[in-house]
Amino acid sequence: MKPNIILFMVDQLTSFVLNAYGGTVCKTPNIDALAARGTVFENAYCPYPLCAPSRFGMMAGRLPSRIGAYDNGAEFTASTPTFAHYLRANGYYTCISGKMHFVGPDQYHGFEERLTTEIYPADMSWTPDADFRDYNKDEERAYTFGVSTIDTVRDAGPVARSMQIDYDEDVIHHAVRELYTRARCDDDRPFMMTVSLTHPHDPYVITREYWDMHDEAEIEAPRVPHIPVDQRDAHSQSLYYHYGQDKCELSDADYRNARRGYYGMISYVDDLFGRLMQALEDSGYSENTVVMFASDHGDMIGERGMWFKKTLFNPAIQVPLIIAHPEHDACRVSAPASLLDIFPTLLDIGGLSAETIKTPIDGRSLLPAVRGAPQKGPIFSEHIDGGTSAPRVCVRDGDKKLVISRAYPPQFFDLAKDPLEQNSIAGQGDPDEARLTQLAEEIWPLDTLLDDVIASQVARKLIDKALSTGREEIWDFTPRPLTQNTNYVRRGDAFPTVERRGYLHYNKSQDSEL
C-alpha cells in the first residue's frame, strides 16, 4: 500500500536554532520528536534565499532561474510540472493548506484541492524594479512592495494578535479538518498533503504566551558578532542599504528582542505542528504516513549584523529538512542536500520509478539516504533579485563552498575549518575552488542571466500596470465551499444517523489508553 505523505513547510526558519541542529534555546518538543524518529539532513540548503523562487524550485525540482522564478513577482507557469502533478497523475489525492506564494492565474499547480488562500498577492506587483543593478545607496529610498525593512526588527515584542497568526491558525484548522474528512470519506486513494505556514517570517512578534517561553536572559548573542559595514564583503554592504539598515540604529536590546520574538514564533510553529501530528494520530493515519518538515529558506537573525535573507551565507540558505518514514529507522545525514531533492524524493516515496519522470529535474531522491545509503554530490543555490547588482550563485560540495558573481569578488570557504564563514580563502590556490568555479560556470549562464532577468522584469512590470488598469482580474485564490456535505446537517438528513456519520473513533491503540 502506498504511504500517505505530509509535507510541513515553514517560512524563514534557519536550521541552527533548532535542537536537532545544535540549538540550545528554542523550545520545540514536537519537532524534536519528529527528528528523534526521522532522518535529519544536517546540511540542507534552499535553492534561493527568498520565498517564491525557493518554493517554485522545490515544487518543480529545478533551479529557480531555469523556470524563470527570478523574484517574488515572477509567474510560476502552469506548464511547469510539479511533484503534485506527478503524484496526482499516479493515484494520489493532492491537497494544500497554506502558503506556497503562487504567482499567476494558476493557483493549483497540480493540487486537486486548496483549502486556504495565499497570504501574499498572486499578481505581479512584487516584481522588483529592473534598474536594481544601478542601485545608489545615497539616493532616498521608499518602501518597496514585498521587501522587509529593518524597522520590523525594532517592532519585536509581544502582541495580542497579528496577520500571520490569523493566517496560520486558519491553515492548521483546515489541514486538521481535512485529515478527519479524509478518514471519514470513501475515497481510498493515498493522500499527499502540503501544510505550509508563514511563521517564523519577520516581523518578530508573537503572543505573550510564546514570548514568555524564552526568558530574556536565555537569548544568546550572535555567533558571529556585528561586522562594521565598511569591513563587510561588497554584497553584504549592498544588502545593508537595501534593507534600510542605515536608517535605523539597532541596540543590543533590539537584537535580543528580535531573537526572542523569533524563538517564540518557532515555539508557536511547533505547537501548530504538534496539533497536526495529533490529528494524524487520531485519524488513524500515522502508521502509514511519511512526514517531511522543511523551511523555504533561513534568516540571518543578527548574525554578522545582518537580518532576513537575500544572502548566500549559511544562516539564510541552510534550512531544516527532516524525513520521518514509518518503515525506516532514525539517522542523521551530514552530506549536503537540497530542497530541489524533495521533488524526486516524494515521487520515490510514492512508488514512482525514475523512468516515470519525463521532464527535467535538478534534484535527486533522498530516499536512499533515509534507508542508510551514502549521500554525496554538490548542491546549488542562487540569488538574483533586489539587493544584488548581478546574480550571485553558490555551489557546495562536501565541506567546500563557493560563491561567485559577475559583480562581486568570489568567496570560497572550507566549512570544516571555518563553519561560520568568517575567512574567505578565495584565490589562495585550493584546487577545489577551480573545480567548483568550473562547475558553477557550467550550471549558470552568468554572462547572459542578468539580461534575461531584467527583460523578464520589464515585461512583468508592463503586464502588471496594464492588468491593474480598468477592470481588474484578481488571481488571488478564494476557497470554494466544501464539496463534501458530511460536516453539516442538510435537507433529508435524519437523526441520529447524520450525527453518527460524523463520528471518527480513535484507533485501537488509542482506545486501549482511554
* Catalytic residue set: 51, 101
Three-class SS string for 327-379? CCCCEEECCCEEHHHHHHHHHHHCCCCHHHCCCCCCCCCCHHHHCCCCCCCCE
Report helix, strand or coil for 201. coil
C-alpha closest to that of 302 among 348, 347, 260: 260
| CB-count exposure of residue 382 (10 Å: 0-12, 13-18, 19+) | buried
- Beta strands at 113-114 and 191-196: parallel, antiparallel or unpaired: unpaired
32 within 8 A of 20, measured Cβ to Cβ = yes
Cβ neighbours, 10 Å, residue 167 = 19
Please list, in sequence order, all residues whose beta carbon lies within 8 angstroms of the beta carbon of residue 161, skipping any fewer than 6 positions away.
Answer: 207
Helix 252-282 / helix 163-184 crossing angle, nearest 10 deg: 10
Q: Which three cell numbers stand for residue 197?
A: 505556514
The Cα–Cα gap between 54 and 295 comes to 10
Angstrom distances, CA of residue 415 to CA of 187, 272, 332, 435, 464: 49, 34, 18, 16, 43
Please list, in sequence order, all residues whose beta carbon lies within 8 angstroms of the beta carbon of residue 120, skipping any fewer than 6 positions away.
Answer: 51, 72, 99, 101, 126, 146
Which element (helix H / strand E) includes 270? helix 252-282
| CB-count exposure of residue 346 (10 Å: 0-12, 13-18, 19+) | buried
The Cα–Cα gap between 226 and 232 comes to 10
**Strands ordered across the beta sheet of 411-414:** 379-383, 392-397, 400-405, 411-414
Please list, in sequence order, all residues whose beta carbon lies within 8 angstroms of the beta carbon of residue 176, skipping any fewer than 6 positions away.
Answer: 275, 276, 279
CA 75 remoteness from chain centre = 17
284 within 8 A of 505, measured Cβ to Cβ = no
Q: ∠ CA 271-275-277 to the nearest 5 degrees?
A: 110
Whose grid coordinates read 557546495?
Answer: 396
